[in-house]
Structure 1
Amino acid sequence: MKLRNIALVAALAAIGAAQAQGDKWVIGQSAPLTGGNAKFGQDIRAGANAWFAHVNSKGGVQGRAIELLTLDDKNDRKTAGENAATLLKNPDVLALYGFASATLSLDALPLAEKSGTAFFGPFSGANPVRTNSPVLFTVRASYGEEMEKMLNFWTSLGLTRVSVIYYDDEVGKQNLEVVTQYLKKSNLAPQAMPIKRNAPITKADIQKLLSQNPQFLLNTTLSGAAAQIQKELVGMGKIIPTSSLSFVGADQYIAAAGPASAGVSIAQVVPSPTAQIPAVRECAQALEAAGVKSAMNTTHLEACFGAKVLTEGIRRARKPVTRQSLLDALANLGAYDLGGYKITFGNGMQHGSKFVELAMVTREGKLSTR
């Protein structure tokens, strides 16, 4: 009887182990897979999925595969919040990752805070996702740091009259305020050019912008609006030096603006996708192995980097891995070298990078940092 009991216990243990091995680490995401910013959302998902697939091909983490569960928010704030609520009700979801903007994060972040779930790697450097929330971790520089780099460049050339193109909403106005505070240090002030989010650019918008007689433009909008403005200006023969936040999505912007994009500078918060460092090469290989046909772009790369850091957080989390133990692991990650590129969390530091460089669009439609 004892031998039979021992065998039964062993069999039950084996079944339990097999079930555990079959479980997945589920990461929740809301992203614009359709709608006006669909390409950006799709690239975020592709970059993250490529790295998770790479990890899974090597046995996953602690014997479990990582699954990215993505819901489409169509670039709508309310839907993103609803998606976050849906994801957080799933007890298997360990963290929320890769929301595509600060606006899409506004209603989601408080829900993550309430549930004690990591809100990791939002694709924005705006103030609403630069707070000291205990669940918020970013892997990119702030928009303030991007804008300082751009404004330093133009003002060093003697250009001081800037028009800021921004969305006429909560996040857009905060972006304008960042520029205002920076220029105030030099007794300068920006001109404001508000536009409606998810609305087409009108002739009246272009005329209003030209009436401000700017020496240079600073764009804080998405690729669709930014590309439409640039094409209208170039079509009128108006060549105005322009810089855009990384938020524009460089490759998405170049595709949308076409030849009109030449000469525009765009802030980058990750190295060039052609940089010869291990972290970049590994992500390029992961994307190729995942079947992504297009060349790796900066959005893919940032998403891959974030997924790699999140994977390391799961790897270091104490067992049993829970939402709380993952939060603790991320908070104590320290300086983590992805392969020639570092992200640092710890001691109250939850914004892991200050890396910013300016790239310019060439006539061939490529980004150059030289």
Structure 2
Amino acid sequence: MKAGVRTYVKVALALGAALGICIAAVAAEPGIAKDKIVIGAFLPLQSGLAAGASQLRDGADAYFKHVNDTGGIHGRKIEWVVENDSYDPQQTMAVAKKLVDRDGVFAIVSTLGTATNLAVLPYLAQRGVPLINPAGGHERLNAPTDKNVFGMLPVAKKTGIDMAEYAVGTLDAKRVAIFYQNDPWGKDPRDGQIDALAKRGLKPVAEASYMPSDIDVSAQVVALQKAQPDVVLMNVIAKHGAMFLKEAQRLGWKPKFIASNVMGDPVVLDLAGSAMEGVIVNLITAVETMDTPAIKKANEILAKYHPETKPGYFTYLGMAGAMAFVEGAKRAGKDLTRPKLIAALESLGRFETGVVPPVNWSTANHGGPTTHGYAVWKEGKLAPLKGW
């Protein structure tokens, strides 16, 4: 063989080898290695939602560690990368891009925040990244049309409707006031409450709102107290809900309070103390004292891996997303890809975690549950009033 031909062949072989490496690199599924699956989450760990975000993180993390210690998923361990977004949509976008573009996560699992989740939906859809359990109330999160999104909470507007109907239908309220967070998370249930009251020929006797950055809500308490409502509907996060209830207690004001589901987490007792006594909570996760095998198992897992964390709304919500991801990844098989994960999740049908109401996922439905329960705080414990 002539030298020129030999050189040509060597160059061709080298180019072919390089091309093969490039093709393999392109074909490799993001976040999937021989021994691990890298997934991510963004949580408001430095914000007014920090306490709940930490609880949610611990719940999901405990379940992932439990799975890793019992064999993983087809021999792969789960590596869950969690980033703080400070409940700031702009920061969430930066964090999401880091997780996807730099860390190369396979999926995003168990996030927290309506506005923050909404901010990154187009980006995650464009990149084809599965988003499982984006904890927030908007219908784009819990009745999603994006094929990559799987919700595990009821739509917030429907939750608001249910709360108003419980106030009027069960508690026989004639005068209803509304206290809400002035962003999509609080406005969506508020809109549902307005609609539900209107269907019964009622209007709120008063409304008051707050911003997540507010450090005092005493003026809102006084404004609602003047309207003399029978029931106050509270679409609030734990921090501001606790401030509101403590101020009401200080003033000796005692209407019936029906609060959003986040007020069912034990963290509110640390924030509000005895002001939680008698507060009714809309229930969309399990209660620690429920005597079921699923709750007992969840509590055991949490106690093993995060003994400092109390079981409750946020821990169960974090676990629910982790459970859904694990079940979907197992069903998708050893040759795991994003399309296979999505198809596997769609094949679940009625999926029961035992810690949140069942979902019914399919190719036509990626939405969350449609049922609600209620519980009341009594002597530091949640006592169920109405099941899912």
TM-score range relative to shorter protein: 0.7 to 0.9
**SS of residue paired to 1:199:** coil
Q: TM-score, normalised by structure 2?
A: 0.84
Contact 1:222 1:249 in 2 (8 A): no
Matches within 5 A, 1:347-358: 347-358=363-374
Deviation at 1:175, TM superposition (A): 2.7
Matches within 5 A, 1:23-102: 23-90=35-102, 92-102=104-114
- The amino acid of 2:164's aligned partner reads L
Deviation at 1:331, TM superposition (A): 1.9
Counterpart in the other structure of 1:311: 326
Structure 1 residues 216-270: Cα deviation after superposition (integer angstroms, max 9, x where no partner): 1111111111111111111011112111111345322222111111010111212
Flag the structure with larger Rg: 2
Contact 2:137 2:185 in 1 (8 A): no
Deviation at 1:317, TM superposition (A): 1.6
Decide whether aligned partners of structure 1 residues 84 and 249 sit closer, same or farther in structure 2, where only a CA change above 3 A counts. farther
Counterpart in the other structure of 1:14: none
Bigger Cα displacement from structure 2, 334-343 vs 238-247 = 334-343
Counterpart in the other structure of 1:189: 203
- The amino acid of 1:346's aligned partner reads S
Decide whether aligned partners of structure 1 residues 192 and 133 sit closer, same or farther in structure 2, where only a CA change above 3 A counts. farther
Counterpart in the other structure of 1:110: 122
d(CA) in 2 for partners of 1:202 and 1:148? 25
Q: Which residue of 156, 160, 172 maps to 1:143? A: 156
Is the aligned partner of 1:258 residue 2:270? no
d(CA) in 2 for partners of 1:204 and 1:275? 38
Contact 2:349 2:361 in 1 (8 A): yes
d(CA) in 1 for partners of 2:219 and 2:358? 45
d(CA) in 1 for partners of 2:199 and 2:207? 18
d(CA) in 2 for partners of 1:342 and 1:348? 16
Decide whether aligned partners of structure 1 residues 183 and 339 sit closer, same or farther in structure 2, where only a CA change above 3 A counts. closer
**SS of residue paired to 1:177:** helix
Contact 1:94 1:326 in 2 (8 A): no
d(CA) in 2 for partners of 1:243 and 1:58? 41
d(CA) in 1 for partners of 2:184 and 2:384? 32
Counterpart in the other structure of 1:165: 179
4+ residue runs over 6 A deviation: none
d(CA) in 2 for partners of 1:102 and 1:295? 24
Decide whether aligned partners of structure 1 residues 357 and 185 sit closer, same or farther in structure 2, where only a CA change above 3 A counts. same
Counterpart in the other structure of 1:218: 233
**SS of residue paired to 2:178:** strand
Deviation at 1:112, TM superposition (A): 1.2
Structure 1 residues 100-147: Cα deviation after superposition (integer angstroms, max 9, x where no partner): 121221212222111111111122233342332222211222323433
Decide whether aligned partners of structure 1 residues 223 and 339 sit closer, same or farther in structure 2, where only a CA change above 3 A counts. closer
Deviation at 1:209, TM superposition (A): 2.0
Q: Percent identity between the aligned chains? A: 25
Contact 1:85 1:108 in 2 (8 A): no
Contact 1:335 1:343 in 2 (8 A): yes
Structure 1 residues 74-97: Cα deviation after superposition (integer angstroms, max 9, x where no partner): 222221222112112146412112
Contact 1:31 1:71 in 2 (8 A): yes
Decide whether aligned partners of structure 1 residues 186 and 279 sit closer, same or farther in structure 2, where only a CA change above 3 A counts. same
- The amino acid of 1:181's aligned partner reads D
Structure 1 residues 54-82: Cα deviation after superposition (integer angstroms, max 9, x where no partner): 11011100110011110011222221222
- The amino acid of 1:358's aligned partner reads Y
Is the aligned partner of 1:180 residue 2:194? yes
Bigger Cα displacement from structure 2, 122-131 vs 41-50 = 122-131
Deviation at 1:202, TM superposition (A): 4.1
**SS of residue paired to 1:121:** strand
Contact 1:220 1:248 in 2 (8 A): no
Counterpart in the other structure of 1:10: none
Q: CA RMSD in A?
A: 2.1
Counterpart in the other structure of 1:360: 376
**SS of residue paired to 2:86:** coil
- The amino acid of 1:226's aligned partner reads G
Is the aligned partner of 1:346 residue 2:359? no
Counterpart in the other structure of 1:299: 314
Q: TM-score, normalised by structure 1?
A: 0.88
Deviation at 1:192, TM superposition (A): 2.3
d(CA) in 2 for partners of 1:339 and 1:178? 27
The runs of 5 or more residues in structure 1 that have no matched partner are 1-19
Structure 1 residues 182-206: Cα deviation after superposition (integer angstroms, max 9, x where no partner): 2221122223212122212244322
- The amino acid of 1:46's aligned partner reads D
Bigger Cα displacement from structure 2, 223-232 vs 99-108 = 99-108
- The amino acid of 2:191's aligned partner reads E
Decide whether aligned partners of structure 1 residues 92 and 333 sit closer, same or farther in structure 2, where only a CA change above 3 A counts. farther
